């Protein structure tokens, strides 16, 4: 063999072993300061690029960024990206043919940011004055837990699955005024020893209890200026319980929802799936994957397990652990339900259930040293391979380009034209405020909360309150009026008592223009559609 031929043979062999030749997917994991983001175009489901640790990573179409209590379309995230520069961003994906492609992106100011302390006072502006600490404001864009703060909606507290609670999961609040019927002081009775902290049965199981001085709270959120904005608060020295024997609902608080992603490769180890939480009464809790029909947005529940609270423990802890041994289909969110039933509270919360996103995905770990690292597996994550589904206006399809080779994804072009069957039936008559007579005193109606989220085919929720006029009374009924692409609707609201009325509907397209709450006494409240 000539010297030249030997040299060529060596070079070919060297190139074959070169780390720059990508023979298979290589795992991508970047955790660091967020440096910037761009969008490919202005379409609702656009992808783009994200920069972290000096690397530019492809963001596929249909990816939504995970915040603690919500998912944000990439287009909207890019529009507010300057607010999050320097925040901690977590990008998980694969290098596919040498190209870094994200499969999951989450962001926080600091992923393990956590504080704790005693509340010293409740400030007039609705903030919590901490002993030897900063003031804390609940980041509450819809005003469910107290005074509205809507400057940072992406880091919202969860208005439907309470993220401001006592240890038991019983929802808590900060009064909006001295006589707030949705956060009454009567919900915090004085206990033996003259304290309001301890364990006690809820006075009214359907109304939030206020946070008060002396409560020890653990909180997570972000700091801006001299204020800490919390999206999660737990008062651990307050254990508010409920009693199913008197018809009370059982509140649920989920602490962890960890998914160990399964793979059959004998050289990797699958982590344990672990779900841990607490309840306000002893109960059996079922856990279900929230499956979504991509074409219609229709939600179905697929139970993955059930477990009872531990006997003999006053904290009512439940813990589900399972190590997958077969292929499992994963979803973005999981629903926990108590066997004591579900009730709508006066604050508009569905007590007895709790929906949570997965708090941590644990990819398989290599068990045989010396082998190439295993790729990250997204092939069994339905929200990635099929999509998040119809949101009432658009269909969110699979991640494109997909962050893993050899995976078949759903083709949204096979979906039939959108049907209106899942939308609320349009009113056949025009509904207007009744004309007050000389014997009717018009009440004052105000919005307490108003939200629309794109999950579950579009979920619309509203809470309004009627306050009696001088010499009159509060309303006995109320309707919620809104319009969307399906038409105009006038829906009867649920009377939650004390002048509070609630409305909630899934599979509802996003409303437009102005929405209204109209009472039977003639009072009307208007708000811009969410």
Taking residue 359's Cβ as centre, other Cβ atoms within 10 Å add up to: 17
The correct answer on CATH 3.40.630 for the domain covering 444-528 is: no
**pLDDT tops 90 at residue 3:** no
* Average pLDDT over every residue of 365-386: 93
461: β partners = 451, 504
Of 34-43, 85-94, 443-452, the least confident: 443-452
Whole-model pTM?
0.77
pLDDT band (50, 70, 90) for residue 457: low
* Average pLDDT over every residue of 15-31: 68
Where in the chain are all domains bearing CATH 2.40.50? 20-110+378-412
Q: Nearest-CA neighbor of 465 among 524, 506, 514?
A: 524
Tell me the C-alpha distance between 17 and 129, whole Å.
61
Question: For residue 66, how many C-alpha atoms fall within 13 Å in the half-sphere facing its CB?
Answer: 20
How is domain 20-110+378-412 classified at the CATH fold level?
Answer: OB fold (Dihydrolipoamide Acetyltransferase, E2P) (2.40.50)
Tell me the C-alpha distance between 176 and 467, whole Å.
15
Q: 383: left (phi > 0), else alpha (psi -120 to 50), else beta? A: alpha
* pLDDT of amino acid 419: 59
Tokens coding 408: 């078949």
How far is C-alpha 383 from the geometric centre of its chain's CA atoms? 15
SS3 4: helix
* pLDDT of amino acid 9: 40
* Average pLDDT over every residue of 43-51: 97
Tokens coding 37: 């983001």
* pLDDT of amino acid 69: 85
Question: What percentage of the chain exceeds 90 in pLDDT?
Answer: 60
What length does the chain have? 530
Tell me the C-alpha distance between 362 and 369, whole Å.
19
**pLDDT tops 80 at residue 20:** no
Question: What percentage of the chain exceeds 70 in pLDDT?
Answer: 90
Question: For residue 141, how many C-alpha atoms fall within 13 Å in the half-sphere facing its CB?
Answer: 17
* pLDDT of amino acid 427: 34
SS3 for 321-334 is EECCCCCCCECCEE
For β-strands 299-308 and 284-292, DSSP reports them as antiparallel
Tell me the C-alpha distance between 56 and 345, whole Å.
46
Question: For residue 257, how many C-alpha atoms fall within 13 Å in the half-sphere facing its CB?
Answer: 21
How far is C-alpha 342 from the geometric centre of its chain's CA atoms? 19
Q: What is the DSSP letter of 466?
A: E
**252-370 — its CATH code?**
2.60.40
| DSSP alpha helix (H) spans, 328-481 | 382-385
**Cβ–Cβ under 8 Å, residues 163 and 157:** yes
**pLDDT tops 60 at residue 19:** no
Which pLDDT tens digit goes with each residue over 323-356? 877 778 999 999 999 999 999 999 889 999 999 9
Taking residue 321's Cβ as centre, other Cβ atoms within 10 Å add up to: 13
Sign of the CA dihedral running 313, 315, 320, 321: negative
* pLDDT of amino acid 213: 97
Which pLDDT tens digit goes with each residue over 464-490? 999 988 878 888 888 898 887 766 787
Which pLDDT tens digit goes with each residue over 290-334? 999 999 988 999 999 999 998 878 889 999 998 877 778 999 999
**pLDDT tops 50 at residue 180:** yes
* Average pLDDT over every residue of 25-30: 95
* Alpha-carbon separation of residue 473 from 175, 464, 498, 515 (angstroms): 23, 16, 11, 24
Which pLDDT tens digit goes with each residue over 201-254? 999 999 999 999 999 999 999 998 889 999 999 999 999 999 999 999 999 999
Angle made by CA atoms 184, 187, 188, in degrees to the nearest 5: 110
Q: Nearest-CA neighbor of 377 among 230, 263, 252?
A: 263
In 192-263 the beta strands, taken as DSSP E runs, fall at: 198-201, 209-210, 216-224, 227-235, 238-241, 252-260
**pLDDT tops 90 at residue 440:** no
Q: Is 368 exposed, middle or buried (0-12, 13-18, 19+ CB in 10 A)?
A: exposed
Q: What is the DSSP letter of 376?
A: P
Tokens coding 70: 């919500």
**pLDDT tops 80 at residue 416:** yes
Tokens coding 130: 């901490």
**pLDDT tops 60 at residue 276:** yes
Tokens coding 148: 């509205």
* Alpha-carbon separation of residue 115 from 90, 105, 129, 217, 429 (angstroms): 21, 24, 14, 8, 53
Where in the chain are all domains bearing CATH 2.60.40? 252-370, 444-528
* pLDDT of amino acid 451: 87
Q: Work out the widest C-alpha separation in the chain, in whole angstroms.
A: 112
Tell me the C-alpha distance between 242 and 251, whole Å.
8
Q: Which phi and psi (to 5°) does residue 246 adopt? A: -105, 15
């Amino acid at each position: 063999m000539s010297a030249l031929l030997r040299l060529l043979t060596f070079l070919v062999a060297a190139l074959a072993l070169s780390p720059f030749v990508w023979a298979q997917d290589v795992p991508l994991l970047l955790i660091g300061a967020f440096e910037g983001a761009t969008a490919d175009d202005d379409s609702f489901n656009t992808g783009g690029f994200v920069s972290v640790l000096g690397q530019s990573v492809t963001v596929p179409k249909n990816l939504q960024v995970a915040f603690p209590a919500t998912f944000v379309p990439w287009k909207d995230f890019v529009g507010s990206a300057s607010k999050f520069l320097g925040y901690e961003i977590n990008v998980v994906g694969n290098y596919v043919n040498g190209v870094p492609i994200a499969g999951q992106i989450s962001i926080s100011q600091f992923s393990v940011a956590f504080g704790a302390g005693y509340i010293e006072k409740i400030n007039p502006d609705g903030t919590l004055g901490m002993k030897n600490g900063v003031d804390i404001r609940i980041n509450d864009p819809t005003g469910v837990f107290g005074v509205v703060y809507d400057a940072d909606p992406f880091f919202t507290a969860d208005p439907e699955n309470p993220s401001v609670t006592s240890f038991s999961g019983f929802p808590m609040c900060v009064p909006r005024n001295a006589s707030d019927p949705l956060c009454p002081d009567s919900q915090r009775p004085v206990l033996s020893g003259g304290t309001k902290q301890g364990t006690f049965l809820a006075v009214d199981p359907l109304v939030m209890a206020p946070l008060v001085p002396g409560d020890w709270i653990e909180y997570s959120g972000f700091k801006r200026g001299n204020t800490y904005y919390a999206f999660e608060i737990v008062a651990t020295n307050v254990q508010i319980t409920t009693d199913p024997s008197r018809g009370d609902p059982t509140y649920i608080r989920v602490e962890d929802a960890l998914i160990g992603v399964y793979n059959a490769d004998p050289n990797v180890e699958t982590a344990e799936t672990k779900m841990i939480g607490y309840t306000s009464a002893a109960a059996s809790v079922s856990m279900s994957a929230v499956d979504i029909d991509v074409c219609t947005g229709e939600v179905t529940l697929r139970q993955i397990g059930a477990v009872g609270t531990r006997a003999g423990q006053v904290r009512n802890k439940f813990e589900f652990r399972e190590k997958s041994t077969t292929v499992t289909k994963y979803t973005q969110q999981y629903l926990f339900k108590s066997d004591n039933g579900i009730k709508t509270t006066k604050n508009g919360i569905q007590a007895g259930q709790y929906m949570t996103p997965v708090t941590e995905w644990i990819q398989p770990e290599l068990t045989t040293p010396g082998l190439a690292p295993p790729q990250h597996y997204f092939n069994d994550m339905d929200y990635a391979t099929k999509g998040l589904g119809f949101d009432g206006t658009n269909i969110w399809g699979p991640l494109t380009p997909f962050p893993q080779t050899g995976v078949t994804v759903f083709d949204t072009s096979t979906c039939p034209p959108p049907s209106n069957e899942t939308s609320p039936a349009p009113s056949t008559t025009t509904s207007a405020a009744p004309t007050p007579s000389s014997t009717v005193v018009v009440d004052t109606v105000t919005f307490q909360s108003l939200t629309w989220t794109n999950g579950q085919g579009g979920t619309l929720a509203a809470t309004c309150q009627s306050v009696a006029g001088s010499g009159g009374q509060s309303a006995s009924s109320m309707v919620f009026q809104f319009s969307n692409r399906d038409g105009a609707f006038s829906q009867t609201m649920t009377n939650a008592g004390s002048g509070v009325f609630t409305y909630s509907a899934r599979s509802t397209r996003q409303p437009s223009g102005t929405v209204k709450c109209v009472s039977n006494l003639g009072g009307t409240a208007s708000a811009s559609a969410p």
